Amino acid sequence: MRIAIVGAGVAGCVMARRLALLAGVEVICLERVVRDDHSEAGTGLNIGPNAVKALTAIDPELAESITRASYPWRNWRISLTDGAVLFDLPLARVAEGPGWRIRWSELYRVLREAAGCISYGCEITQIRRDPADASKTSIEWIQNGEDCRLDGIDLLIAADGRYSKVRRTMSGEPLIRHVGVSIFRLLVPDTSNGLIDDYEQWFNGPKKEPDALRAAYTPKTAPPSAQARWMIDVICENAGDTHWARMQEHEMLYRAAGCNILYLGDAAHGMVPTLGQGATQAVEDSSNAAELITQRYSRGDVNVEGWLQAFEALRAARMRFVMEFSLDATDTMLDGADPIKGTMHKNEEPFQSRLKSLYRDVGLPLDGNTQ
């Protein structure tokens, strides 16, 4: 059996490492960037406890390597910039363990080293159905100036991220929904002397220029807290290096029609970043897919279309829940919203019980529920 994976990011690496263990399966993973180039991935990620749980269930060694390279995410606090705390949640109250806080480039390094079988520097030039068997696919690419080609791919896994070329080529442009909110990320040295020691959020308002940012984040009736003061200073000093992004999501699609292609992670479902579930769901997706394929293949089931149907049935409702919840949690950022009231609601039972489902109901183990 031949499995090709496009993209050695979060989902692609988890899949490549796990599927390469299957006897009789040839796994080829094609990555666009060159080896050791993790430079696109500069900022930090908060990866939810649900990803830790899912990955630990299928690949404890890999989960442990990420734990060693990261900080634990144990607490989530939301304050006003004058220091008034609105929400202060130890994750142990809603999850079975901590999440990870890790620099993006560091996560890629750990995952790519662990995956091993990755071909770097591949520029994909053609993706199509195999002329000899329409359920299979065929890929062409250029690597080191040479034309390469692979036919008769039994399963093509598109793990090539939010702007997935595979998905656009084989299933068309996804429907995109803008939320009307922009966010920014900025990676700076920690000169705060430990003022901020876990995941924290502050409210006070937006605009891109340094003066406008300073005015927006400075509280009107009290001095900023020590943490907010440090944040305001570094944000304004580094305004030119800030990475801004529009919040958006795109429609979920896990498999191509009439052809054995599996979409995973951002290629399957771009979502708003409010609850930090993008990379988290890429881990959850790939842990479930790798385990489902392993279980089925190991008992002699090589019906790839059946695998894809079972995976979609397993994941679709869960992903709809995660995408809706992430969107609902964005309420405090919408134009005209009341961030104080909205954040206080997050202390109440409905939000907390949704968080429990988010962080605990990861689908694994699969035996018995993938028939």
Ligand X SMILES: Cc1cc2nc3c(=O)[nH]c(=O)nc-3n(C[C@H](O)[C@H](O)[C@H](O)COP(=O)(O)OP(=O)(O)OC[C@H]3O[C@@H](n4cnc5c(N)ncnc54)[C@H](O)[C@@H]3O)c2cc1C
Which residues between 35 and 64 bind ligand X (CB under 6 A)? 43, 45-47
CA distance 171 to 270: 15
Q: With binding defined as CB under 6 A, does residue 7 bind ligand X?
A: yes
Interface segment toward ligand X; rule CB under 6 A; list 82-90, 247-255, 269-277, 318-326: 269-277
- For residue 100 the two structure tokens come to 């990870």
Nearer to ligand X, 32 or 346 (CB): 32
Residue of 292, 348, 285 whose CA lies nearest to 319: 285
Please name the amino acid found at residue 148: C
Q: With binding defined as CB under 6 A, does residue 280 bind ligand X?
A: yes
Which residues between 110 and 169 bind ligand X (CB under 6 A)? 122, 124, 159-161, 165
CA distance 275 to 249: 13
CA distance 268 to 185: 24
Q: Are strands 44-47 and 155-158 parallel, antiparallel or unpaired?
A: unpaired
Among 266, 297, 322, 358, binds ligand X (CB under 6 A): 266
Q: With binding defined as CB under 6 A, does residue 319 bind ligand X?
A: no
Q: At its nearest, how many Å lie between ligand X and the CB of residue 166?
A: 7
Q: With binding defined as CB under 6 A, does residue 11 bind ligand X?
A: yes
Nearer to ligand X, 124 or 329 (CB): 124
Phi, psi of 201, deg, nearest 5? -130, 145
User: Strands, DSSP E only, in the chain?
Assistant: 2-6, 26-30, 44-47, 71-73, 75-80, 85-90, 99-103, 118-119, 122-130, 133-143, 146-153, 155-158, 176-185, 199-203, 243-250, 261-263
Interface segment toward ligand X; rule CB under 6 A; list 8-16, 70-78, 80-88, 174-182: 8-16
Q: With binding defined as CB under 6 A, does residue 278 bind ligand X?
A: yes
Interface positions with ligand X (CB under 6 A): 6-12, 30-33, 43, 45-47, 122, 124, 159-161, 165, 185, 243, 245, 265-267, 273, 276-280, 282
